[in-house]
């Protein structure tokens, strides 16, 4: 089983690995050891990792844009304000309210955590 730090890196790279490895998001999540380290992988630990690896933000934006099914969470950029947006469909679901963020790493981390929980459920 990977360590919590290795798991953190693997789950943060899930969007990139989805395109470069021939594995489903669920298979990548299982291989990462996320379920064993779920409590240690928080929005804050993800934000810290993404801040140190800003290319991940682009990977997750692309991943969100390309999603066709499964999780209804999304990550995007508001074209008017330039802020980052995390939300879910349908918009009327109170558990998936749209939130805006000025910090790209924070928005990405929030999206990643929602996505991990959705894939893992």
pLDDT digits (tens, 9 = 90+) for 82-98: 999 999 876 555 555 78
**pLDDT level of residue 121 (50, 70, 90 thresholds):** confident
Question: What 3-state DSSP class applies to 75?
Answer: strand
Q: Model-level pTM?
A: 0.91
Rounded CA gap, 12 and 47, in Å? 9
Task: Check: CB of residue 86 under 8 Å from CB of residue 110.
Answer: yes
Task: Check: CB of residue 103 under 8 Å from CB of residue 2.
Answer: no
């Amino acid at each position: 089983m990977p360590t919590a730090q290795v798991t953190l890196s693997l789950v943060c790279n899930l969007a990139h690995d989805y395109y470069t490895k021939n594995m489903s998001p669920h298979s990548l999540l299982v291989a990462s050891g996320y379920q064993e380290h779920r409590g240690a992988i928080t929005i804050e630990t993800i934000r810290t990792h993404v801040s140190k690896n800003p290319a991940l933000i682009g990977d997750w934006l692309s991943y969100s844009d390309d999603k066709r099914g499964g999780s209804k969470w999304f990550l995007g950029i508001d074209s008017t304000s330039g802020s980052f947006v995390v939300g879910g469909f349908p918009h009327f679901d109170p558990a998936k309210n749209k939130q805006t963020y000025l910090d790209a790493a924070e928005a990405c981390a929030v999206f990643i955590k929602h996505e991990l929980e959705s894939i893992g459920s």
